[in-house]
C-alpha cells in the first residue's frame, strides 16, 4: 500500500481527480444556484452537492461548515480511490511478468 501511495502516478491521479471533483461539485452547485434563483421567493432554499453547505431564507442566509467539510471529504475519498486504482494498474501493467506474458 505504501508503494502505491508513494508512486508518482498515484499523486498525479489523486490531484487530477480531486481538481475535477471540486469543479464538478462547484458547477453543480452553481447550476443549482441559477436554477433556484428564479422561482423561489419565500422559504428556505438549500444549496450544495452532494451535501448542503449553504442555505438561504427570506431574511437570512448561512454557511453550513459540516456540509462543506463533507464535500471536501467526499472529493478526497473518491480521488484517493482513483489514485490507488491508477497506481495499481500502472504498476501491474509495467511489471516484467506482464510484459513477458504479453510479449511487450
Confidence of residue 18 (pLDDT cuts 50, 70, 90): very high
Residue 7 lies inside a defined structural domain of this protein: yes
pLDDT tens track for 40-78: 556 677 777 788 888 777 777 888 889 889 988 999 999
Residue 104 lies inside a defined structural domain of this protein: no
Pairwise CA distance, residues 104 & 102, whole Å = 6
pTM tops 0.75: no
Tell whether the model's pLDDT for residue 20 goes beyond 70.
Answer: yes
Q: Is-contact 69 61, C-beta < 8 A?
A: no
Pairwise CA distance, residues 32 & 25, whole Å = 10
Residue 14 lies inside a defined structural domain of this protein: yes
Helices 65-93 and 8-37 pack at an angle, to 10 degrees, of 140
Residue 17 lies inside a defined structural domain of this protein: yes
Pairwise CA distance, residues 65 & 10, whole Å = 29
Pairwise CA distance, residues 10 & 82, whole Å = 8
Domain of 75, in residue numbers: 2-91
As for how many domains the chain has, the answer is: 1
Residue 103 lies inside a defined structural domain of this protein: no
Residue 98 lies inside a defined structural domain of this protein: no
Amino acid at each position: 500500500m505504501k508503494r502505491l501511495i508513494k508512486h508518482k502516478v498515484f499523486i498525479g491521479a489523486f490531484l487530477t481527480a480531486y481538481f475535477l471533483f471540486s469543479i464538478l461539485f462547484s458547477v453543480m452547485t452553481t447550476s443549482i444556484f441559477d436554477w433556484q434563483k428564479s422561482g423561489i421567493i419565500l422559504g428556505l432554499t438549500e444549496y450544495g452537492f452532494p451535501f448542503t453547505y449553504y442555505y438561504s431564507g427570506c431574511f437570512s442566509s448561512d454557511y453550513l461548515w459540516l456540509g462543506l467539510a463533507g464535500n471536501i471529504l467526499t472529493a478526497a475519498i473518491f480521488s484517493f480511490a482513483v489514485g490507488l486504482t491508477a497506481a495499481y494498474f500502472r504498476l501491474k501493467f509495467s511489471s516484467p511478468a506482464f510484459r513477458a506474458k504479453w510479449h511487450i
